[in-house]
Structures are given as C-alpha cells and as structure tokens.
Amino acid sequence: MQSMSDMDWGIMAPEWVIAIACALLIVVDLFLKNTASRRWIGFLSLLAVGMAGGWVITQFRHKSAMILDGAYILAPYTLIWKIILLTGAALVLLVSLGQEKKEYEPHEGEYYYLLLTAVLGGMIVVSTADLIGLYTGLELLSLSSYILVGIQKKKNRSNEAAWKYVVLGGVSSAFILYGMSFLYGLTGTTHVGEIQKQLSQVGSSYEAYVYLSFFLMMVGFGFKLASAPFHTWAPDVYQGAPTPITSFLAIVSKSVTFALVLIVYMAYAGPYGEFQEDMIILFMIMATLSMIIGNTVALRQTNVKRMMAYSSIAHAGYVLVAVATGNQILIPIVFFYLFVYLFMTIGVFAVIALVAEQEKSEDLKAFAGLYHRSPLLALSMSVFLLSLAGIPVTAGFFGKFYIIMGALELNHIWLIAVMIVTTIISYYYYFAVIRQMYFRRPASSDPVRVSWPMKVAIGISLIATMGIGIMPQFVLETLQSLLR
Amino acid sequence: MNINGEFIAFFIFSVLAIGGAVFMINLTRVMHMALALAFTFFSIAGLYVLLDAPFLAVIQILIYTGAVSILMIFGIMLTKHKDEDKVAPFTVHKLLSLLGVGGFLAIVIWIIYRNPFFSTGEPQAAAFKVTDLGKAMFKTYMIPFEVTSILLLVALIGAIVLAKREEKK
C-alpha cells in the first residue's frame, strides 16, 4: 500500500478550497462584531465556489486518477457533476445576496457557510465509489440542508418544513443505510466496483437479498429525489424554506441524488439478466408516477413555490425516464437535462424571490401585471417558464427531446406517451403564471426593484437557457466528447 | 436446540434490548424513556460481546450507554418541557402503519431465514486486532472520516443556530 504522503492529494483541490473557506469563514464570523454586516461573508463564499469551479475546469486536462483505491475519483464524469453542483451553488449564493430583506436575518453568516458545507457533501458524493464515502457525503449535504430549511426560526411554516424534512430525511437515510448493509453482508466490501464483481459470483439462492437491498435503497433515494410515491414532503418543505434554499434543494440536492442513483446502479450492473429488467421496471414505475402526480397536482396550486415543488417532482420523473432506460449512452443526456434544469429553475426562483419579497405574498396573484411593471423581468420569467414547460425550440424542449429519443431506441413506447401527455398537461399551470403577468392588471404600477446580484443571477440563467436552446447539439456533443 | 450459557445470555440480552425499545415508545415520561433507551444500548453491547467483538462492546458502553444517555438526561433537565406525554388514541392511520411495518418485517425475516448468511465455515473474528480497525479508519476510510468531522461541526453549528434564544434589541 502506498504511504499517505505519496498520494496525489492535489487532485482533491476543489474540495480543499471549499473546506478551508468554510473553516476560515466560521472563525472570521466568530470574531466579527454582532452588529457588523455579514454580507461580505456571502461574497467570500461566492469567491470560494468560483475558485473551486475554476480548479475543476483545469482538471479536465488531468488524466483520470484515484486516491485510496476509489475512495476519491477524478474522472470526466465526476468533474461534470462538480460543475453542475458548483454552478448551482454560485447562482444560489447570488440570489441570496440579491435579496434585500434577508429571510434569515440574525444568522446570515451561518447561512452562507452551511451552503458551502452542503456543496462539499455533494462534491464528496459524486467523486467517490465507496458506500461509506457516499453515505457520509450524503449526510453532510442533508444535515446542512435541514438547518438551512429551518433557519427562519420565527416563521411557523419554516419550522414545520424543517421538522418534516429532518424526520423524513432521517428515515430515508436509514433505508439507504439498511440497503447498503445487505450489500456489504453479501459481498464483504464497500467498494462499488468490487461489489459488482462479487455480486455476479454469489449464487442465485441469495438473489432475494439483492432485490431487498436494491428496493430499500430505492425507497431512500425516492425520498431524497422527491419522486412519487415518496414525494409528500416536498411541497411543504419547498414552500416553508427560504426561496434560495428551495432552489438549492431542487437543483443541488436532486443532482447529487441522481449521481448517487447512477453510482449505485453500477454496483448492480453485473449479476443477472432478470434482475436488470426488474430494476428498470421499478425505475419506470417511479418515473411514471412522478410525471403524472407532479403535473396533475400542480394544476390545483395557487402558491407559486408549492406549484414549483410539484413541477420539480415532475422533472425528477423526466430524468428518471433517462435513468430507467438503463443505458450508459444516456448519461450525457442526463447531464444535459440537469444543466438545463439548473438554469431555468434558478431563474424562476430568483424572480419568485423578488416578487414575493415586494408583494409580501407567494400567491399566483402576486404576479399580476408584472409585464406592465417590469417588462424585462416578466420577459425573462416567460423564457424560464416556457423552457420548463418544454415548448419547442427552448432548452427544456431539447432536454425532453433527447430523453424521448433515447427512450425510443429502447422501445419504451408507453413511457414516452406518458411523458408527452403529462408535458402537455404541464403547459396549463406554467401558462397560468404567464397569463397573470401579461393579461391581469397590476395592483401597483411601481417597477420591481432588482438588486445587482439578482440581475447577474437572472442574466446568467437567461443567457444559459437561451444559449442552450439555440445550440443544443453543440452542448450535447461537448458533454459527449468530455465523457469519452 | 442445545441450551448453553451463550444461548441463555443471548436470550436475556435480546429480551432486554427489545423490551427497552418497546418501553421507550410506550412510556409517557421523558426521563423514563431515556432510561429505557439506555437499557437497549447496554443490551446491544452485551450482544456484541457474544458476537466476539469486545472492542465494539466497550465502545458501545462508553459512547451510547454512557455519553449519549447522560447527554439526553442533561438535555431533559436543562430544557423546559412538558414532562407528561399524552397517549395518542389508536386510529385507522396507526393500524395501517402497523400493517405496513408488520408486512415489511415479515418479508425481511422470510428472506433472512430462507438463505441465512454464513451458514457454513468457522467465524474468523478471532483474527481481528484493534490495529486493523485503526488502519481501516485512518487509511482506507480516511476521507469519510474527515467528512464526518465536518458533519459534526455542521451539527454543532446547526444546534446553536436553531436552539439559541435571540436577545431582544
């Protein structure tokens, strides 16, 4: 075995940057006067995320490497995951900095470095192939998110949301851990690659354990993904959390769980033909239910954040369609969809944060006449919503189009049918917001004040959403060539 | 089935562990619950001894039976709380949960009894040394170990953020 100092710890640089920034900011926050502004802690966090992201980009030139036999992996796919996470975190930080009245006033410092630890947890998850590493990373992400959801202590709704999230999150972690323990019991190793080898050797008499462990883990992942039938916590938590945190849950937590699903998928990729088919059927059931429940229940919502929660359940369903096809060729498509979803979701939540802050209401009616008050804001919101709905020639449309083409190759016709029908249903509630913005009279005619970090966040999201919509093939081919 | 000392010890410890857990759920006073939980922790340590894992047993007693239980009791004493918990009525929802959990338990037990693990071969626990544990923890699993330390830090910050009383301005 190599000695500790011989190992190439430099490849962990992005994680180091985030961890060190976190530690420094905690100490700085401690010595700061109580009355001092915590705002620049947010800017320093943004700087740290930016540095980590820059480092990740330079690592694309580094050849694939690993520390401690898979405890930490540097490969193109881990780097793409990290770019998704860090971009999401940076935009969430910008939106948080852009809010005029902080929803989490006395704990602004904590808010920023808990976001950093959450991202760190996510980065650990995507870059390991060891069950223990996966689990600790996931817990770091979850624990930080629980606190962030409940950070508005004076709001009852926030407390309720945090409480639900802790209890159900804890239960889902227990399910994941229980499933992992059966895998360890069967194979005697926690390394995903080793598990795959060992699983193909265990006799078919132990097949029931393989099913049990997979089923248990999928229940846990279903909770974390907020995919039906384990979605019931999502609307309450999304509504109760501070708006930037809601977008963080929808983007970063969800992407990390998809990474986890794909990594665990590899562990089962060996053993039996029949098991593979059953595994795919389970994914398909979850995907179908998520699409149907998410899109139909969203029709009845009047609270925008709640509506977006159901929309995000539906989107988890769309991505699960790509996962369900169980085809490695579809990995770039999953990445493509998550990138698109990241930008349009951040954009929508940034606008929601602005409008909700100034109208003091998260109701659909708060958007009435937004076009007459702030035309640019209303236009960008329309672009994001159209893209989420998947109207042709937007980024969201191409995301769905690629998923459908992938599913078509594998002949999952009814899955595609469900996807198309529910997409059309979803037009109704996305257009409800657009209708409010253009065809209803505003309650007041003052324009919505937009602070500069908000402008940057919305601008980046807008450019990215439109850019991907204009040249989707280029983005997809770039992803494919990076993964090769 | 031959009844020997090991079997009797296993029987006593498992009854204590399960009994502690059941009492923990059914008791109404918080302090009694904490004590019931301590009993469960202690009996699990006994089970570890029977499984030839004395190191784990000592750790279990030190951390769970000792530290965690004491911490809970301190927590109860230092916070204001409603001492008495009302017994909730038995509803249809509870019946459904019971059926669900019971069904799950039946399935898991059925699977385990159909194909028990390690039915052949001698256990090799005797070859275990504490140094191996240290090597595993600080070499193979070093990254998760470090992540855990950040996790604990986050938990600490979170507890302070959520539990601290704001000063009035």
Place A202 in a pLDDT band, splitting at 50, 70 and 90. confident
The per-residue pLDDT for B80 is 65
Asked if the Cβ–Cβ distance from A69 to B144 is below 8 Å, we say no
Predicted-complex ipTM score: 0.89
- Chain B CA closest to residue A69: B140
Residue type, A452: W
Asked if the Cβ–Cβ distance from B155 to A185 is below 8 Å, we say no
Q: Which of B13, B33, B14, B31 is nearest to B23 (CA)?
A: B33
Q: Which residues of B touch A68 (CB under 8 A)?
A: 139-140, 142-143
Task: Tell me, yes or no, if B7 comes closer than 8 A to chain A by beta carbon.
Answer: no
Q: Which residues of B touch A19 (CB under 8 A)?
A: 150
The per-residue pLDDT for B122 is 54
Nearest Cα of chain B lies from the Cα of A294 at a distance, in angstroms, of: 24
Summarize pLDDT for A355-404 with one digit per residue, the tens. Answer: 988 888 888 888 888 898 889 999 999 999 999 998 888 899 999 999 98
The beta strand positions in A231-376, using DSSP E, are: none
Asked if the Cβ–Cβ distance from B143 to A124 is below 8 Å, we say yes
Q: What is the residue-averaged pLDDT of chain A? A: 89
Judge whether residue A333 has pLDDT over 80: yes
Transcribe B35-104 into DSSP letters.
HHHHHHHHHHHHHHHHTT-HHHHHHHIIIIIIIIHHHHHHHHHHS---SB-PPPPP-HHHHHHHHHHHHH
Which residue, among B105, B109, B147, would best test binding to A if mutated, counting the most A CBs under 10 Å from its CB?
A: B147
What residues contact A346, with CB distance under 8 A and at least 6 apart?
A: A88, A91, A92, A95, A247, A251, A457, A461
Asked if the Cβ–Cβ distance from A144 to B154 is below 8 Å, we say yes
Q: Which of A164, A348, A389, A378 is nearest to A243 (CA)?
A: A348
Summarize pLDDT for A10-69 with one digit per residue, the tens. Answer: 888 999 999 999 999 999 988 888 777 888 899 999 999 999 999 999 998 888 888 877
pLDDT > 90 in chain A, percent? 56
A 95-124 → B contacts, CB under 8 A = 106-107, 110, 113-114, 117, 120-121, 124
Asked if the Cβ–Cβ distance from A26 to B157 is below 8 Å, we say yes
Distance separating alpha carbons of residues A120 and A116, to the nearest angstrom: 6
Residue type, A205: S
